[in-house]
Structure 1
Amino acid sequence: MKSVIFSFLLILALPLSMNGNDFKGIKRITANESQNESNSWINFVKLFELSEIPEKSLTQIACDSKYWLWINEKLVVFEGQLKRGPTPNDTYYDEVDIASYLKLGKNKIAILVWYFGKDGFSHKSSGQAGLVFKNDVLHINSDNTWLSRLNKAFEYTSRDYPNYRLSESNVRFDARKESFDWILLEDNLRGFGRAKVLGDAESSPWNKLVKRPIPLWKNSGLKEYKNKINFPFVSKGDTLILTLPYNAQITPYFKIRSDAGKVIDIRTDNYRIGNTLSVRAEYVTSSGLQEYESLGWMNGHQVRYYFPEGVEIMDVKYRETGYDTEFTGSFTCNDAFFNRLWDKALRTLYVTMRDTYMDCPDRERAQWWGDLVNESGEAFYALSPSAASLTQKGMLELINWQRSDGTIYSPVPGMYTSELPGQMLASIGYYGFWNYYMNTGDKETVEKVYNGVKKYLSVWETDEKGILVHREGDWYWGDWGTNIDKQGIFNAFYYLALKGFKNMSELLGYNGEVKKTQEKMDAFKKAFNAQLWKNGEYRSETYTGETDDRTQALAVVAGLADEAKFPEILQKLKTQKFASPYLEKYVLEALFIMGYEEYGLQRMKERYSEMINDPARTTLYELWNIGSGSVNHAWSGGGLTILSQYVCGVYPVEAAWKTIRIRPQMGSLTYAATENTTVNGKFSVEINKSNGKYRIHTLLPQESNAIVMIPVSYKKINLNNHLIWNGKEKRNQWSEYLGIDNGYHTFKIKSGNWNFVAE
């Protein structure tokens, strides 16, 4: 465990704003025939001999846009390179140790580069296809001694094409024109010529090369589909529908025997979302026995292969790839509905992680920051620590793309340049940047983004009444749905942004900013309640629709609403249900904060019922019902966080999980348990209410503490079979009694295995 945590901290320590490598004298190369056309594929080959094998051989590789690497016919990297870029101008590079793939004598490096050649909602094209390769151990660098050629078997498919948000094109391969024999050691490399040198590695338009801050993809290898097919058989011209075990990022494979010139079409059940198209693949057969894997990833629950009549199908498989993190978290309770919700939220989270966090893996693949705030919060309860690096990458990108006027916008990287004010305030705030710090303890990243956060907050002004000056940004958006009090929402998110900034300032020792921000928060809270609290509800002055549940909830979550208002807010949340799955997370959170956990669980069931009870899908929809939205949308998984953080009551109150609060809010549930591996080690919490007894069993990682909170209604409390409370504190060597906090007895314990029994 210590090695896992140490490796994670090393990843966090990598400064995104620095190279981490010297590319002086290294060249950028391409094929002589390359015209930088979109959807171009280029082969690169380097032949060399070795008289000894190094123990380690770190290699730096960059391209625009993706690459596949083979050494001596063995696959080393499946889809390397991150989409551009760390800033609007710069490019990422990968670092790979290739030593284990080398051999004595003749060696061959083969690299296939896919140049997207167009912008998207997650990629900024440099406008120039090419490759950079650097290996100081072998003294092999990209230059004109490399061999290269355009791969003319890769083409555009027939119409229709993916929607404009995607930088990827459909992938078509015409096997009559070329095979993959060029990666073989003994291939004669027909058609290859010397590579063309474009310029220095770090010259325009690629500019600075920045080390990849997240792991290379997890790779399952080729796997069988769920439904078993008796191979071989001859197609009658039908579509073969194959089922995946869950919604996954996959590349499809097949092995066939065919005449030449037949077109095979491959797509998933997620290919069409309303009228919006995702990616698909085509393959044009050569003659005889052949096998092929389409390299552009797609996602869904089913893969649909159309094989023309007469094609003999020998085998079909798929490869799952995705972000390299482990499913170390879990949640279970005595209600199967909530178990399914947690599991579907986890699957939704994972299928929306790759180069960036994304809203959906089919329609957009875009790093919308409102979605990312929800996603990153879930990851800390569900995934291993490596997942945090994707949040860190997103934070640094958001600030590195900041405009000179101080505004920030997402999705970045990419071509979309519109600011959504509500989402941007959420991103830099208490549930965004600050939540990342609380879960990781990564002070260095907070330092890097701090000035950008301060600059963005300066864009916002308050009026003579003390609340926000009306400001619409580029896209005046608050949420999907109806009855959206946008100004109410923005004001609440602004207060959360101030709260996060104050905490950052305190962490970094900027005491003047702490004092100034606290004064601003105090004045704002007073003005917010004076101006927006009217007739038992929060409502901005210009809003005329029905009472907005979002504004009521965000006022509670932000800390703007005092406890006296809770009963009236509860009544509004019982009748008003307008929030989309994006902001419903905050509505549910507000109910638990106010102490209305029983209704919180009831509302969660009501709102999520259709998607949780859908037997055909393992992921959560974009909207409450299946319609024009995606069926695997990042922002819908907030229930996962609620179940672990509030129902089981587990939350870090000291950065990096050094101190954990355990305050379960079970409602009518009688059993619940959650666990995960944090940067500080593994925790687990199990709560059981039965036979008049209330049991909490917890396992705490080394060098950690916990604040365990037990309702004062329990009069006798034992810890590991030792009486610690019986109407008054029983002093002991295992726990420290901290008093009563909001109706709870509070006890401090250290790392270890603990059993509380209250009755």
Structure 2
Amino acid sequence: MTYFKPDQTMKPELWQAQWIWLNKQKYADYQKTHYTYFSDKQDMHYALALFRKQFEVNKAIKKVMLYISADVKYRLHINGERVGRGPAEIGGDYGNQDVLDYWFYDTYEVKESIKQGTNILGVEISLQTGIQCDYSQGQGGLILEMHIQYSDGTEETIISDETFKAVRNEAALEADCYDARLDRGEWLKDNFDDTSWEQAEVIPSRSLIHKPIPHLTEEMLYPKTVLIHYPQYETRIQDKENLLQEAGETLLTKGSPLTFSLDFGRIYSGRIQLEIEGAAGTHLTFYTQEIAGKNEQKIVYTLKEGLQTFENMNLLSVRYLYLTVSNFTSPIRIKKIGLLFSHYPTPRQGYFQCNDSLLTAIYEAGKNTLEMCRQSYHLDSPIHQEALGCTGDYMILSLMNYYVFGDKHLSRLDIWRTAQMLKKHQGFMFHTSYSLLYVQMVKDYVFFTGDQTILEDVLPVIEALMTRFKGYIGSSGTIEQAPNYMFMDWVPCGTYNLHHPPKTVGQGYLTAFYYKALQDVAHLEALRGRDAEERSYRQEAEQLKKAFHACFWVEEKGLYCDGRKGDVPTVPNEWLPADTEEIHFSQHTNALAVLYDLAPQPLHQSIMYQVVTEPTLTQAQPYFMHFVLEAIHHAGLFNEQGLKQIRRWKRLLEENEATLKEVWEGFDCDYSHAWGGTPTYQLPSKVLGIRPLKSAFEEVLIMPQMGDLEWAEGSIPLPTGNLQVRVEQTNKEYRLHIICPKECNIVFQWPVEASQVYKGETLEGEKSYQVIYMHSME
């Protein structure tokens, strides 16, 4: 996709603006912030700081560019209109307490927000790191620079400095608790008197880089249904249908506390939008729920007198908005209530449909969840918002993206951000296996996008990562000395969980991931023309392959075990349980052995038959089913077994039909977890058979594997346009209709013996093919 060019967001000249913050003498308790969510929070205080700058414009404007960053989070307003929020997250890892040495700034074109006469710049900045993805440089701050180009050729620059006015908004008691009776009034209007505000204070500068992704899209959504939980409330909520639309108002009559819920029809990622009129002291308590009855996040808002608006600061995950109104001695009028749906701004180009409505619904649920989890970085889920430490999730999300949205910029930025974190920690990542999946994510990115420029930054980091893992190899030639064997899967197993299994359960799968990483880094070295390094990694991989088979293969079972106790006992720690005596077998280790060709090819199908049919094997959750499905395909069994496995997602949709639950069953989890969205990648890539043969889809293989389907169709975004495929299957023939960009070279293949008849024609800007494969189903 070419609609966004990262270079357009770069500031063309050096910063003139200065970093500023609240006056240190007056606001001594609201200067410092902890570096991360996991840092020591002692003696740290939450604050919402307000910054205000008034300026005049008295002639015609040609262009206005505004550059801004803040610590921790900002909302930018011009003349009372919110025009942006940020900055983008810098990344990090679970449990990390270290500050990273860079910070993002944002770029806005704001000509349409500027008026003739008096203008007001207003910025709200939230101090302290309230969720896992929040990071800080240790002190609150704002930097803003605005360049105005006038039509007569003159220019003006407005910069953040001591001329900005600043104050703490005492209404923000906490990030999720706001008492509007204490707010600063109409401070965004040009007639507001800010003479009582302090001048901002200049603080030390910090390193800034531009954000190479577009601003997020925000869409106003209104509820689909109002749920009144107690009959006695029916008469007290007048014109409730107006809650479902922008026009009209809903009257809540005074009295005892009143509770109702708003159902948005499915889960969305966003922020509460409220316009309300009522008496000061009226109390609103919001609970967000992904499924009915399961509270997630709590937001408290106390009204001031009259008409007012409210928007919470942090991203929420919402299907049901559960609202209790209390302490109201006079009626209140809800003018507008909804959710500002936030997501990365890529058009939904990809689609998949077939005669099995269940498979179509599974694809859509993955697509919906993917869209929610693509913010200014890939989320594990909008509930958890972990700090870019879940690389296994992002690897799968990126594959889904290549088939649904076709965007490369977000994956590229996450790869770069993760490299900075790995560099700082010498290749260490909290979830040990995820550091190896990072290598897969990089290789996938280069192959699907054709962008090799990323390797200059990340390949040295990957090499350091490989050196770290080489040190984990023990006397068996496999991994024996890892600090832990996280993350295998969310599967309870006896007294422990495969989140952090003992070595005797995690050794096999982690060794398999390391083997794949060695193969992938060898490939990346070859792309860089580093022949000696490529040979070295391939030799190490070959040695590991032999050791894997010798150590884990159990002939009488016809399977690979998950690990061996070994000669040297494991020293347990918080994330590493003691070794077990028994030998374990799982879908996980065996699927990887087939997928990565650690198992001899003649064993592939017999192993995979056991993987999909043997209930005594430790079973994979939706996340690890990505690797199981890939192994089924690699073993040549997708036509027979692939759709059977994908239809297992039915149990997730029966519980929540439009987005994906984190696990099949088990622990308290969320319902917006895209790591289980592999069917959204599998259905177009395997059923329609659309797979790139050359990087950036320059050459594409079409090899449908329809299973028991009668027809299927879909589209995926290529760098040069959309590729559309429709497949129909009868007991005598297969029919394909394909439309693709003229730059794309198509290779046809069918997974059974068949005779081929085809007709192709070149249209304006694209090519069209009608292909018929004659065969016998007998």
TM-score normalised over the length of structure 1: 0.85
The yes-or-no answer on 1:488 pairing with 2:513 is no
CA distance in 1, matches of 2:633, 2:427: 33
The yes-or-no answer on 1:451 pairing with 2:466 is no
Other-structure match for 1:40: 47
For 1:683, what is the secondary structure of its paired residue?
Answer: strand
For 1:279, what is the secondary structure of its paired residue?
Answer: strand
Q: 1:131–1:665: structure 2 CA closer, same or farther, 3 Å change rule?
A: same
Other-structure match for 2:310: 292
Cα deviation per residue 1:69-114 (whole Å; 9 max; x = unaligned)?
222233321x221234587122111011122222233222111122
Other-structure match for 1:379: 401
What is the CA distance between 1:472 and its match in structure 2? 2.6
2:564 to 541, 545, 555: 541
CA distance in 2, matches of 1:281, 1:464: 51
Other-structure match for 1:413: none
The unaligned stretches of length 5 or more in structure 1 are 157-168, 410-417, 722-733, 735-749
Cα deviation per residue 1:274-323 (whole Å; 9 max; x = unaligned)?
8xx85322111122343333333311211112112554233322221222
Cα deviation per residue 1:341-373 (whole Å; 9 max; x = unaligned)?
111111111222223212121134442111111
CA distance in 2, matches of 1:29, 1:658: 49
CA distance in 2, matches of 1:194, 1:44: 9
Counterpart of 1:130, as a letter, is: G
Other-structure match for 2:125: 113
What is the CA distance between 1:379 and its match in structure 2? 0.9
Q: 1:480–1:247: structure 2 CA closer, same or farther, 3 Å change rule?
A: same
Matches within 5 A, 1:223-242: 223=222, 225-227=224-226, 229-230=241-242, 231-235=249-253, 237-242=257-262
Counterpart of 2:636, as a letter, is: G
Counterpart of 2:767, as a letter, is: G
Q: 1:495–1:751: structure 2 CA closer, same or farther, 3 Å change rule?
A: farther
Other-structure match for 1:678: 718
Other-structure match for 2:570: none
**Equivalent residues of 1:45, 1:146 under 8 A apart:** yes
Other-structure match for 1:210: 209
Other-structure match for 1:31: 22
For 1:182, what is the secondary structure of its paired residue?
Answer: coil
Matches within 5 A, 1:234-273: 234-235=252-253, 237-270=257-290
CA distance in 2, matches of 1:605, 1:428: 26
Q: 1:518–1:751: structure 2 CA closer, same or farther, 3 Å change rule?
A: farther
1:424 to 426, 435, 440: 435
The yes-or-no answer on 1:103 pairing with 2:115 is yes
Q: 1:606–1:656: structure 2 CA closer, same or farther, 3 Å change rule?
A: closer
Other-structure match for 1:189: 194
Q: Which moved further from structure 2: 96-105 or 629-638?
A: 96-105
Matches within 5 A, 1:689-708: 689-690=729-730, 692-708=732-748
**Equivalent residues of 1:272, 1:278 under 8 A apart:** no
Other-structure match for 1:83: 89
Counterpart of 2:59, as a letter, is: E
For 2:63, what is the secondary structure of its paired residue?
Answer: coil
Counterpart of 2:196, as a letter, is: G
Other-structure match for 2:502: none
Give the root-mean-square deviation of aligned CA atoms: 2.7
CA distance in 2, matches of 1:555, 1:710: 26
CA distance in 1, matches of 2:548, 2:492: 23
For 2:669, what is the secondary structure of its paired residue?
Answer: coil
What is the CA distance between 1:672 and its match in structure 2? 1.5
CA distance in 1, matches of 2:290, 2:217: 22
What is the CA distance between 1:404 and its match in structure 2? 5.8
Matches within 5 A, 1:553-568: 553-568=591-606
Cα deviation per residue 1:133-154 (whole Å; 9 max; x = unaligned)?
1134431111011111111111
Q: 1:328–1:226: structure 2 CA closer, same or farther, 3 Å change rule?
A: farther
CA distance in 1, matches of 2:274, 2:745: 53
What is the CA distance between 1:626 and its match in structure 2? 6.2
Counterpart of 2:541, as a letter, is: M
Q: 1:111–1:534: structure 2 CA closer, same or farther, 3 Å change rule?
A: same
**Equivalent residues of 2:223, 2:263 under 8 A apart:** no
Matches within 5 A, 1:640-679: 640-679=680-719
Counterpart of 1:753, as a letter, is: S
CA distance in 2, matches of 1:256, 1:449: 50
**Identity rate of aligned residues, in percent?**
22
CA distance in 2, matches of 1:197, 1:547: 61
Other-structure match for 1:741: none
The unaligned stretches of length 5 or more in structure 2 are 32-43, 93-98, 149-155, 227-239, 243-248, 499-504, 566-579
Counterpart of 2:393, as a letter, is: D
CA distance in 2, matches of 1:621, 1:590: 23
The yes-or-no answer on 1:336 pairing with 2:327 is no
Query: Hey, which bits of structure 1, 4+ residues long, moved more than 6 A?
Result: 271-274
2:410 to 390, 398, 410: 390
For 1:123, what is the secondary structure of its paired residue?
Answer: coil
**Equivalent residues of 1:43, 1:148 under 8 A apart:** yes
Other-structure match for 1:460: 469
CA distance in 2, matches of 1:294, 1:24: 31
Counterpart of 1:67, as a letter, is: Y
CA distance in 2, matches of 1:273, 1:562: 50
Other-structure match for 2:38: none
The yes-or-no answer on 1:587 pairing with 2:583 is no
**Equivalent residues of 1:42, 1:112 under 8 A apart:** yes
CA distance in 2, matches of 1:265, 1:255: 15
For 1:518, what is the secondary structure of its paired residue?
Answer: helix
2:161 to 130, 138, 143: 143
TM-score normalised over the length of structure 2: 0.83
What is the CA distance between 1:691 and its match in structure 2? 5.4
**Equivalent residues of 1:73, 1:185 under 8 A apart:** no
Cα deviation per residue 1:623-667 (whole Å; 9 max; x = unaligned)?
102641112212111121111111111112211111111111111
CA distance in 1, matches of 2:646, 2:692: 27
For 2:750, what is the secondary structure of its paired residue?
Answer: strand
**Equivalent residues of 1:148, 1:195 under 8 A apart:** yes
The yes-or-no answer on 1:479 pairing with 2:479 is no
For 1:460, what is the secondary structure of its paired residue?
Answer: helix
Other-structure match for 2:299: 281
For 1:645, what is the secondary structure of its paired residue?
Answer: helix
Matches within 5 A, 1:300-315: 300-308=318-326, 309=328, 310-315=330-335
Q: 1:433–1:299: structure 2 CA closer, same or farther, 3 Å change rule?
A: same
Other-structure match for 2:531: 511
Other-structure match for 2:237: none
CA distance in 2, matches of 1:187, 1:598: 69
Matches within 5 A, 1:153-172: 153-156=171-174, 169-170=175-176, 172=177
For 2:89, what is the secondary structure of its paired residue?
Answer: coil
How many residue pairs are counted as aligned between the two chains? 686
**Equivalent residues of 1:270, 1:300 under 8 A apart:** yes
**Equivalent residues of 1:621, 1:630 under 8 A apart:** yes
Other-structure match for 1:746: none
Other-structure match for 2:653: 612
**Equivalent residues of 1:65, 1:83 under 8 A apart:** no
Other-structure match for 1:64: 71
For 1:213, what is the secondary structure of its paired residue?
Answer: coil
**Equivalent residues of 1:44, 1:146 under 8 A apart:** yes
**Equivalent residues of 2:479, 2:507 under 8 A apart:** no
Counterpart of 1:282, as a letter, is: V
CA distance in 2, matches of 1:669, 1:546: 36
**Equivalent residues of 1:337, 1:605 under 8 A apart:** no
Counterpart of 1:480, as a letter, is: W
CA distance in 1, matches of 2:609, 2:291: 42
